[in-house]
Amino acid sequence: MKAIFFKEINSFFSSTIGYLVVGIFLIVCGLFLWVFTGEFNILDNGFANLSPFFLLAPWVFLFLIPAITMRSIAEEKKQGTLEILLTQPITKWQLVLGKYFGAFALSILAIIPTLLYVYAISELGSTPGNYDLGVILGSYVGLLLLSATYTSIGIFASSLTENQIVSFILAVLLCFLLYFAFDGISNLAIFNSETYGIEYLGLSYHYKSISRGVIDTRDLIYFISIIFLFLSLTKFNLEKENK
């Protein structure tokens, strides 16, 4: 698994995709948070907090992470190297997890520079250093869990096809449905009763719950379950390829 992990990291940074992913994420977030006027602009809001960033990040990751994962298995299929990997003395889980953690590591590298935003809002406040650390930590934990979930969905989509574009579109669609669809359906007039609990099935509800600064085990179990589900489906697809 370690060899596959480092192979994934090397493949990202041996081409321009790794630098593009990190660069695009930081540029897009920076423009919306500090340059473009609108609801995400921290300076326009008049409050020194990072809530606009944590509202914006799921949208950016919706396209960015599928761009990272679209080539993970699809490219192996296209080049015919997947069969070679499947005959190596590694288990299917090791192959899946190596691919998964390699892609997830790249999304973590994209998130790390945004810690500078914490310093920025600390200095922008009327009293320097006066910000809710618990909320920020919770929001970062939620963002990491969300990116981990998006990555598992992207790896699964990549295992379905050898076409990277199809893999990208499938991953974006699945991520969108899991994050936004359940929340949107729960807001319809026919679902205005909380007894339905439709929103509990979506990533958005649990991401926002953790972003309030409270790490609830129910939210953690939800994210871990979704990640395990899609990685298991990926393993199942690889087993079919090996038959």
Cβ within 8 Å of residue 85, ≥6 positions away? 4, 76, 95
- Token output for 92: 């299917």
Q: Which run of H or of E encompasses 173?
A: helix 164-176
Exposure of 147 by Cβ count < 10 A (0-12 exposed, 13-18 middle, 19+ buried)? buried
- Spans of the chain, pLDDT less than 50: 191, 195
Residue 20's pLDDT is 83
C-beta contacts of 174-180 below 8 A and 24+ residues apart: 175/61, 175/62, 175/65, 175/66, 175/150, 176/62, 178/149, 178/153, 178/202, 178/203, 178/226, 179/58, 179/62, 179/146, 179/203, 179/204, 179/207, 180/204
Residue 211's pLDDT is 85
Residue 130's pLDDT is 59
pLDDT digits (tens, 9 = 90+) for 5-41: 888 888 877 777 778 888 888 899 888 888 888 788 8
Query: 230 near 156, Cβ under 8 Å?
Result: yes
The answer to whether the pTM exceeds 0.75 is yes
Report how far Cα 200 is from the mean position of its chain's Cα atoms.
19
The amino acid present at 203, given as its one-letter code, is: L
Query: 5 near 102, Cβ under 8 Å?
Result: yes
Residue 195's pLDDT is 47
d(Cα 128, Cα 105) in Å, to the nearest integer? 32
d(Cα 146, Cα 64) in Å, to the nearest integer? 13
d(Cα 109, Cα 98) in Å, to the nearest integer? 17
